[in-house]
Structure 1
Amino acid sequence: MALPKRAIAASFLPDRYRYWYSLSKLAMDPLYEAMPGAFDDEREPLLDLGCGIGLLLHCLRAGGCNLPYVGVDTDAMKIDAARDASARGGITDANFQVCDLSVQFPKHHGSVALLDVLQYLPQQAQGTLLAQAAQCVSKQGKLVIRTGLADGTWRSAMTRATDRFGHLVGWMKTSFKAQPSAQELRAVLQRHGLQAEFKPLWGRTPFNNWLVIARRSASAAA
């Protein structure tokens, strides 16, 4: 089922910048079309870490995923935009909070989304955040990650360069710090009882983005 991209983007009006930003993301980034499918069997509450303006929520609702949702982000302006857009879109059962994860991590038990966050953290901070997120995953829940991976390919180099450029021109407040390798990411998740499945998610873009879906392993869930 195709997402109603213009209807979702219209939720961010009258802010024309947010409208065109969200419409371009929905049109060009394969992440958002993939999200309803990633959660189509999910009933656990979802914690969206680094939720930004809340596009994930709109995509899930448009795809028929009505799981309880909490989105957190350090950027208060983005949280305000997310709240306003969800209200305009008729979504009344979601919660957005300003939260600095380096200071306080939300209490949660269910599923977790971590989309385009890891690359803006140093390697040690990535491990800390992954550990905290993994501890929130219930037996029936999952941890869904979208990240670039360090694998020596031209896509990997393009992803790093674009993230740095985005910070240079002011698109992102934080600059690129580090990409995990698939082996490193899998090992961290395994240490916390999660088994991960990796799928390429670059679509028609030049970026080395991957969708990682991690679930509680049978031995850890027992």
Structure 2
Amino acid sequence: MSRAEARPLDAAAARSIARAFLPASRLGSRWNYHYVQGKLRSDPLYPGIAVALRGTRAPLLDLGCGLGLLAHTLRADGIALPYRGVDVDAGKIAKARQAATRAGLADVAFDTVDLACQWPAHSGSVAILDVLQYLAPEAQVATLDAAIGMLAPGGRLVIRTGLDDGGARARFTHFADMVGRLSGWMYSSPRRYPQAEALRTRLEAAGLAVAFVPLRGNTPFNNWRIVAERLG
């Protein structure tokens, strides 16, 4: 698995994926279409996660999947592992389903799930992307423990999160996440950013091989990719 920082998608690749998010009529909102293009062209998140999942065939559960962009980018990268995305936001799940159908994505499913009330049954790999910072400390622990329990042998827990290291990037990340909540795009406000050593300690205590790699590209955010693998 490469430790090099991933790059965002180029304009053509981003536009190709974004077409699935165009409105059904010419009078419909093109917000998601433009958002998807901007996200994919500026943020190395999804290429970085594709790198982390390449080489595994374990089914993937995407916790807090939003519009389901991970499914699109994995398929565009030739990664065909079974994918299921869950999110508490029913509106985003509806849009995710519609876009996946338009794009003809195979072996992809989406469900509305409130993880505060229930955990989906799963065995394989787990993705938690830009979610942990929105959870209270006790909910972060519960989420990590639940995800660890879902890992099959050879499965990977792939996390992207801002980290609390007291630096300028950490402060800007918190500010941007607050703006996302105030704009209505995010379902909740950021609660706490994990600390690297505490996160590493918890994952390694579960017997996982852990690697931290920056995943921020040219953005000002303090984003990191954490991959924890259950070997054997």
Q: Normalising by structure 2, report the TM-score.
A: 0.91
Give secondary structure in 1 for the equivalent of 2:149.
Answer: helix
Could you tell me which amino acid in structure 1 is paired with residue 87 of structure 2? D
Greater CA drift, 32-41 or 56-65: 32-41
Q: Which residue of 1 aligns with 2:132?
A: 118
Q: Which residue of 1 aligns with 2:146?
A: 132
Q: Do residues 16 (structure 1) and 25 (structure 2) align?
A: no
Aligned partners of 1:80 and 1:70: how far apart in 2? Answer: 14
Could you tell me which amino acid in structure 2 is paired with residue 170 of structure 1? G
Contact 1:135 1:192 in 2 (8 A): no
CA shift at 1:139, angstroms?
1.0
Q: Which residue of 1 aligns with 2:14?
A: 5
Q: Which residue of 1 aligns with 2:197?
A: 183
Contact 2:89 2:187 in 1 (8 A): no
Contact 1:186 1:195 in 2 (8 A): no
**Structure 1: which 5+ runs fail to align?**
none
Aligned partners of 2:52 and 2:205: how far apart in 1? Answer: 23
Aligned partners of 1:182 and 1:68: how far apart in 2? Answer: 30
Q: Do residues 148 (structure 1) and 157 (structure 2) align?
A: no
Could you tell me which amino acid in structure 2 is paired with residue 7 of structure 1? S
Could you tell me which amino acid in structure 1 is paired with residue 191 of structure 2? K
Could you tell me which amino acid in structure 1 is paired with residue 19 of structure 2? A
Give secondary structure in 2 for the equivalent of 1:133.
Answer: helix
Contact 1:35 1:59 in 2 (8 A): no
| Cα deviation code 1:172-208 (max 9, x no counterpart) | 1200100011011111212322221000111100000
Query: How many equivalent pairs are there?
Result: 218
Aligned partners of 2:209 and 2:136: how far apart in 1? Answer: 23
Q: Which residue of 2 aligns with 1:65?
A: 79
Could you tell me which amino acid in structure 2 is paired with residue 173 of structure 1? Y
Aligned partners of 1:56 and 1:169: how far apart in 2? Answer: 23
- Give the alignment partner of residue 174 of structure 2, picking from 152, 160, 163: 160
Aligned partners of 2:139 and 2:205: how far apart in 1? Answer: 16
| Cα deviation code 1:102-139 (max 9, x no counterpart) | 11101111000000000000111101100000000111
Higher relative contact order (CA 8 A, sep 6+): 2
Q: Do residues 28 (structure 1) and 42 (structure 2) align?
A: yes
Cα RMSD for the two superposed structures: 1.4
Aligned partners of 1:172 and 1:90: how far apart in 2? Answer: 27
Contact 2:49 2:158 in 1 (8 A): no
**Structure 2: which 5+ runs fail to align?**
1-6, 24-28
Q: Do residues 200 (structure 1) and 214 (structure 2) align?
A: yes
Q: Do residues 48 (structure 1) and 62 (structure 2) align?
A: yes
| Cα deviation code 1:59-86 (max 9, x no counterpart) | 0000000000110000111110000000
Contact 2:84 2:109 in 1 (8 A): yes
- Give the alignment partner of residue 108 of structure 2, picking from 94, 114, 118: 94
